[in-house]
Amino acid sequence: MAAAVANSSGQLFQLFRSGEARTRNDLQALTGLARSTVAFRLDALLRSGYLLEDGVTSEPGRGRPSVRLRVNDAQTTILVADLGATHGRLAVCTAAGSVLEERVIESAIASGPRVVLDRVHKLFERLLRRAGRDRASLRGIGVGVPGPVDHETGRIARSISMPGWDDYPVADHMQEIYGLPVAVDNDANLLGLGEQSAIYPDVHLLLFVKVGTGIGASIVVDGQLLRGRYAAEGDLGHAKIIGVQEVCSSCGAVGCLAATASGRAMVRDLSRLGHQVHTSREVVALVRQGNPDAVRIITEAGRALGSVLSTAVSLLNPEVVVIGGDIAHAHEHLLGGIRETLLPLTQPLATAHLTVAPSRLRDHAGIAGAALAVREKIFSAAAVDADLERRARDQQSVVGDVILQ
């Protein structure tokens, strides 16, 4: 299928990404393009660093050995930020997803986009230097945020969980600094994408639930995120639970799942009981110490999550439900609570083969997902063609300047 329509350099590049083509001859056989056309397109891909030569391959009966070509993702650098409500993680990665440098940052999302993104920019520069990568190898930026994002424009769709970020153009902000493609997405989306790709590559439908300061979820189908029309998909934290009287501190409604099962709700409940806790991580620490209040509260949170998840599981029939986020670090009690309500409330057909598991990538899932989103952004056929066109234009204008002088 791909071969029938492959013509542009970007489209030919996809045949190397999928592994269908490994040599010049493969490309010609797959596309039926003239030898000169293939040579011209490949030259552009090699010169601009999308492909590199990687030894020779000799196949029996195919005549002389031919040069093997492969996607140059190890030398291509990307910068990714996984920003939560209270802290985040920044990394310099290769486009293949290997982390070269990484650091955890405290970043109060409530201090607003300019403060947070300027800090991210400064630290990106420092990390890039530490990784020993030059600016020329940099191809794209990825940012995960703890709120809904308009995927097409990279703007924050709505900001009840991100005060001061309403409609903020995060992608444009980073694009202005770096002049490179920027992928921006909701953190739960990136967590789900990262986990699915690294741990469950063959799973058809995966549901990822992030339990951190708030609660969010994502649905990954055959490696692709399922998106709603207005970026509100996966906003499980504000599903209502009948009987819960607590007011949700982010949306103000009564009875939200997040008002009873989020890290913020657990901090509130434990504080009321006289415990000195301020963050999700401190809640987890208390659970780990075996504190009976903390264990009871996290188990109850799990039960509330399980009852909401029973609807999601009945509707979607996922093979895997992954629980991630800070609170999932105390997963024995949380998952115990989830199973307690999820299983009896859901038809056995939907749960017989269902895996409910803590995130295996843990704190790295967001970085892995953001790197994946950037790779798709910079290596898609359209992106590669646009980049090559821009390079050709730049070259022409340089030549023009020289002639004018």
- Site of interaction with Zn ion (CB under 5 A): 238, 248, 251, 253, 256
Closest CB to Zn ion among 262 and 359?
A: 262
Closest CB to Zn ion among 209 and 248?
A: 248
Please state the closest distance from residue 203 (CB atom) to Zn ion, in A.
30
Closest CB to Zn ion among 248 and 378?
A: 248
The interaxial angle of helices 35-47 and 24-31, nearest 10 deg, is 130
Instruction: Give the whole-angstrom CA distance, residue 300 versus residue 340.
Output: 10
Please state the closest distance from residue 261 (CB atom) to Zn ion, in A.
11
Q: Output Rg (C-alpha) for the chain, integer angstroms.
A: 24
* Residue 33 CB coordination number (10 Å): 17
Please state the closest distance from residue 158 (CB atom) to Zn ion, in A.
13
* Residue 61 CB coordination number (10 Å): 4
Closest CB to Zn ion among 5 and 253?
A: 253
Amino acid in position 286: L
Please state the closest distance from residue 250 (CB atom) to Zn ion, in A.
6
Please state the closest distance from residue 249 (CB atom) to Zn ion, in A.
8
The token pair at 251 is 């949306």
Sequence-ordered list of residues with C-beta below 8 angstroms from that of 224, at least 6 positions apart, any chain: none
Nearest Cα to 142, choosing from 80, 100, 51? 80
**How buried is residue 36: exposed, middle or buried, by Cβ count under 10 Å (0-12/13-18/19+)?**
exposed
For the chain, the residue count is 405
Closest CB to Zn ion among 214 and 369?
A: 214
Closest CB to Zn ion among 238 and 375?
A: 238
Which residue of the chain is nearest Zn ion when measured via CB? 248
CB 174 within 8 A of CB 117: yes
**Helix extents (H) in 218-262:** 258-261
Please state the closest distance from residue 259 (CB atom) to Zn ion, in A.
6
The token pair at 185 is 């997405």
Closest CB to Zn ion among 220 and 236?
A: 236
CB 212 within 8 A of CB 84: yes
Instruction: Give the whole-angstrom CA distance, residue 53 versus residue 227.
Output: 38
Please state the closest distance from residue 93 (CB atom) to Zn ion, in A.
34
Cα-based distances in Å from 182 to 103, 209, 254: 20, 25, 37
Please state the closest distance from residue 256 (CB atom) to Zn ion, in A.
3
Please state the closest distance from residue 232 (CB atom) to Zn ion, in A.
12
Sequence-ordered list of residues with C-beta below 8 angstroms from that of 52, at least 6 positions apart, any chain: 46, 69, 70, 72, 75
Please state the closest distance from residue 308 (CB atom) to Zn ion, in A.
12
Closest CB to Zn ion among 254 and 315?
A: 254
CB 77 within 8 A of CB 138: yes
String of b and e for 231-243 (b: at least 16 CB within 10 Å)? bebbbbbbbebee
Closest CB to Zn ion among 247 and 382?
A: 247
Closest CB to Zn ion among 256 and 284?
A: 256
Instruction: Give the whole-angstrom CA distance, residue 289 versus residue 282.
Output: 11
